[in-house]
Structure 1
Amino acid sequence: MKQQLLLVLLFVTLHTSAQTSEIFAPDSIALRGYDVVAFYTEGKAITGSDKFMYSWKNVKWFFASANHLALFKADPAKYEPQYGGYCAYGLARGYKAPTVADTWYVLDGKLYFNYNQKVKAIWQKEKERYIDSANRKWPQIRLN
């Protein structure tokens, strides 16, 4: 319980400085430059290159190859992470929080991220409940 309270306090603090963008994009680069297609095709986090860049939803998306870029361009919604790449646990609790690439998780063809591994472990224990909560809250939080 104490650990969860500390996480809530951390997220509230982060919320005050969170981006107002729909996409988690420090420096206007989606997901710190990680190739979102690679999570599906390679099963791991791969840093993209500005050589294979695509602007979508007012941010830059980087890809590791021309093939990954073409796949994304053909169907961005298929590869776009849930909640714009913000923390799935944080969204379930009502706020945006940044994420790191090593917390990625694909469930039912959808890509999710969390704040860190500790938060991911909490999220995974009841991920369906957290996803349901985040899905309900995302429309109101999305552009805040």
Structure 2
Amino acid sequence: MILTVTPNPSLDRTYEIPALDRGAVLRATVERMDPGAKGVNVSRAVAAAGHRTVAVLPLGGAPGALVAQLLAGQGIDVAPVPIAGATRSNIALAEPDGTLTKINAPGPELTPAESEALLSALDDRAVAAGDWIAYRGSLPRGLDPPLVRPTR
């Protein structure tokens, strides 16, 4: 089993557009929403390969609820840590020629109590010998290194 820790997850919204015309009103031809961030992507790849994974991540607001729902729908066990702020939403604009323009939000600021809850959730999900923990992605405001501490 692989446990992933994603301290700054996101709801990634991708819009396919005919062309990026700065300053114009653009109409998307396709909209897609995916759970995102580096650790989440590791869990998604592990689950797609048919292996068990648990995603530990702080989630808040409607975007956080949607991230949890989308992950569960992909067969990923979610260990959410409730936070007061809303999970960040990132935007990608995809053009037919393959050009991708991304705008990544900074994400919510975690309180000291939320940071401690994230570490406690990690402790609670500590894996057995032979299993793996993957810490991936950016740190949200309010969570300073080191994220890693000895587990039981």
Could you say whether these structures have the same fold, taking a TM-score greater than 0.5 normalized by the shorter chain as the test?
no
More helix by share: 1
TM-score (norm 1): 0.24
TM-score by length of 2: 0.23
Report the structure, 1 or 2, having the larger strand content: 2
The structure whose RCO (Cα within 8 Å, separation 6+) is larger is 2
Q: Please tell me whether Structure 1 or Structure 2 has the larger radius of gyration of its CA atoms.
A: 2
